[in-house]
Amino acid sequence: LFEFSTQERSITLHLATDPELPTMLIGDPLRITQIFNNLVGNAVKFTEEGEINIEVKIKGRSDDRIVLLCRVQDSGIGMTPPEQKKLFQSFSQVDSSTTRKYGGTGLGLAICKQLVELMDGTIWVESTIGEGSNFYFTLDLAYDKKTRTIASKGSGLSKKNVLVVDDSINDLQIIDHILYSWGVTATLCNEPQEALRLARENEYDYLITDWRMPGLDGVELVKIMKEEHGVKCPHIVMVTAYERAGLMAEAREKSVELDRVVSKPFTSSSLFDALAYQHGEKEIAEHREKQVFKASGRVLLVEDNEINRDVAVENLEHYGLEVSIAVDGEEAVKIAREKEFDLILMDLQMPVMDGFEATRNIRKFNKEIPIIALSAAVMKRDKERTEEIGMNGHLAKPINLAELEQMLSHYLEHEIVEAQGDDGVKEEIPVEAFAGVVDIANLVDTVHSIDSAYRALRTFTKEYREAGAMLVPDAIGSEEFNRLIHTVKGVSGNLRLEKVYPLAHSIDTAENAETKKEQLPQLVEAITKTIAVIDEMVPQDEVDTGVKLTISSQKRDELFKQLHEAVLTKRPRNCIPLLEEMAAYQFSDDDREILTKLTEFIDEYDFKSAISYLEKNNAE
């Protein structure tokens, strides 16, 4: 989100987190993201050059709650005490000259204060004119005390020897802090020539080096070390605050192979993934836990967006649940009246009939079934509104798996079992290929396989390739624009699109048109770049060569029977592979017409029409 603006101003971002921080917390990720985005954006705006430090520490904890102290520090213009007092007021900046020079209304900080206080936290600022500012806020979050800490996650790397070279003392200290918490022996230096000397005198398992350094840059350093040490050269992890494309171009030009590249500001997780991938230690970087959550029951999922729907169904079926689907509130009411369910997951914003009206109607004939709201609207008043109409709970979008499992365990029979079969498979995930664009490891964890992740990403490119034509300033404020932005926010969150989601979320929640107009070009560019990366990295569906296989009547009947059964499940993932298989055969013109029409219905998720059409044409 801040890559371009920080590089343009020669600002370096640093991120430091407490190693005792649990790897999974239960809270409101959307609002926390917005707070950090607003504070970091504010820091970038008022810092001409220098550093911005983001820090998260543990302030206190109990068996099930943890209080975090978060800080965003900049080396910008600073403020006087009187200016600080009015800083968190709406439409207030320190003075009119600041507004003229730096732009903005000051509304972002007022929003931060509101969001922090809604989560029972506090926010304040400490600043010295001409030296910079420190913005602090606290977060009170829930967590499971059985959850691993960041430090314990890296225990498999203990006893490794690592040489770290970076001209930034801040980054050296952050890396040292992370490695120390893992039990890793680290040697630190801030000069490349010193790193060469140390490598000649000692053996290291890894070299972590910055790219842009005075005197000798990281690529040149690696080239020399590979020439001197050959096969005994440490595994290389390059970190950079600059555009990765430039780094990779220089490495190719100088015939230097880099094992892994990590973008700044790096996190303990990104550093861990880079180190754990080497030396054949992929088992260290498990993306499947040894134990998995399983539940039983019948669930009705009500969701109008195909991508969000597929991601949710992947999870629910992975847990062992029987899932039925409705694409709007009206269909949900009809299905809930005809069938018995143990739980209903209800999107709130849908065409035809929204989730609120659907819930009111369902409560007229079923007052007992648990109905859980699915929505990106997670303010206190939003949750109160869902309770008023008879909903039992609320899950924030994008869905957090820990929160989903916690909710399911409250309403359904469940157990924790040893991973078996595909649950325990450790797939190789191309983390680096998607770095900074898609959090692909997180997405695979969410949808449980790399194939499912690729399928969802391909759907995104198909649905949003032309979105830029509708995301124009003149459309701001229209119902169509608001619906599209809200949908992009939800989809990009579920797909872990790192460039798209923060911008879509910021625009969707912005209260004034000027802020939306300012960020809109960035969102369109982010969508374009994301689609370009997906097009390049995700294997595309096989192209029809035009050569058709002959098919017997027995095979034809067998395939159409399977297709009928697949359509009845109302799941595209069950239908599409079968349609692709059938596309290879030479069917009659009538059968071909049926398949074409069915494909159209399935692409539009109109299974009601698909089932009716199949039965009408006696295709089975």
Reported as a single tens digit per residue, the pLDDT across 195-250 is 999 988 888 888 999 988 888 888 999 999 888 877 577 888 888 877 666 777 78
Among 247, 357, 258, CA closest to 302: 357
- Mean pLDDT, range 530-550, rounded to an integer: 71
Q: Tokens 């039965």 identify what position?
A: 615
Amino acid 551: pLDDT: 79
More confident residue, 360 or 376: 360
Q: Is residue 288 scored above 60 in pLDDT?
A: no
Structure tokens at 267: 């996190």
Reported as a single tens digit per residue, the pLDDT across 296-321 is 999 999 998 888 888 888 889 888 89
Task: Give the gyration radius of the chain's Cα atoms.
Answer: 27
- Long-range contacts from 112-115, C-beta under 8 angstroms, 24+ separation: 112/34, 112/35, 112/38, 112/39, 112/88, 112/137, 113/88, 115/31, 115/34, 115/35
pTM of the model: 0.49
What is the helix (H) or strand (E) element at residue 549, kind and residue range? none
Is the Cβ–Cβ distance between 179 and 47 less than 8 Å?
A: no
Amino acid 363: pLDDT: 94
Is the Cβ–Cβ distance between 383 and 394 less than 8 Å?
A: yes
Q: CATH number of the domain at 150-276, please? A: 3.40.50.2300
Q: Please indicate whether the domains covering 291-424 and 431-537 agree at the CATH topology level.
A: no
Q: Is residue 400 scored above 80 in pLDDT?
A: no
Is the Cβ–Cβ distance between 448 and 422 less than 8 Å?
A: yes
End-to-end CA distance of the chain: 51
Q: CATH number of the domain at 291-424, please? A: 3.40.50.2300
* Superfamily of structural domain 3-142: Histidine kinase-like ATPase, C-terminal domain (3.30.565.10)
- Cα–Cα distance, 357 to 469 (Å, whole number): 32
Please provide the average confidence, as pLDDT, over all residues in the chain: 81
- Cα–Cα distance, 358 to 332 (Å, whole number): 7
Among 579, 573, 598, 599, CA closest to 312: 573
Structure tokens at 29: 């990720």
Share of the chain above pLDDT 70, in %: 85
Is the Cβ–Cβ distance between 161 and 203 less than 8 Å?
A: yes
Please determine, looking at this structure, whether the domain spanning 431-537 carries the CATH number 1.20.120.160. yes
Query: pLDDT-based confidence at 373, cuts 50/70/90?
Result: very high
Is the Cβ–Cβ distance between 75 and 43 less than 8 Å?
A: no
Among 434, 13, 439, CA closest to 261: 434
DSSP state letter for 521: H
Is the Cβ–Cβ distance between 323 and 295 less than 8 Å?
A: no
Q: Tell me the domain boundaries of the chain.
A: 3-142, 150-276, 291-424, 431-537, 553-616
More confident residue, 30 or 389: 389
Q: Is residue 138 scored above 90 in pLDDT?
A: yes
* Residues pairing with 396 in the sheet: 375
